[in-house]
Amino acid sequence: MSDFQNLVDRYLMIWNEPDPTVRRAAIDTLFTADVTFVDPTASLTGPAAINDLITSVQAQFPGYVLTQLGAVDGHHAQARFGWEAALPGEPAQVAGSDVVALSADGRINQVFGFLDLVPA
């Protein structure tokens, strides 16, 4: 399970990284070149598109920090985990869960996101 936890830690670090150059380098090591990302608000392919999505989300929710909710649950080449986003010291305004599928080399190849709490 520690490998899955490490993966989730790196995933959340990417979502919290404000520098797009640093973030893109981290994306390139964690995700495959043909990664797909699907959630209720987006359907995209590729590391550049994920970087652009994160830039957009950070602009929409400036100062928010994503943190893990609960334990990571994983088996075979997939893991799921809950997360929430909030300004430091404040209640979460956004929360959900993601399922990631891994390629043979252990990088994320697919992300399936679900939103449980969204701002009005």
Report CA-CA distances (Å) from 104 to 14, 18, 21, 32, 77. Answer: 21, 29, 26, 10, 8
> What pTM, to 2 d.p., does this model score?
0.94
User: What would the pLDDT profile of 2-52 be if each residue is shown by its tens digit?
Assistant: 799 999 999 999 999 999 999 999 999 999 999 999 999 999 999 999 999
Number of folded domains that form the chain:
1
- Percent of residues, the chain, with pLDDT higher than 90: 97
Q: Output the domain CATH number for residue 83.
A: 3.10.450.50
Higher-confidence residue: 120 or 13? Answer: 13
Instruction: Give the per-residue pLDDT at 1.
Output: 47
Which pLDDT does position 119 carry in this prediction? 84
**In the 8-state DSSP scheme, what is residue 61?**
S
For residue 51, which amino acid is it? N
Please tell me the distance from the alpha carbon of residue 110 to that of residue 21, in angstroms, as a whole number.
Answer: 22
Q: Which domain holds residue 38?
A: 2-117
Task: Categorize the per-residue pLDDT at 120 as very low, low, confident or very high, splitting at 50, 70 and 90.
Answer: confident
Mean pLDDT of the chain: 96
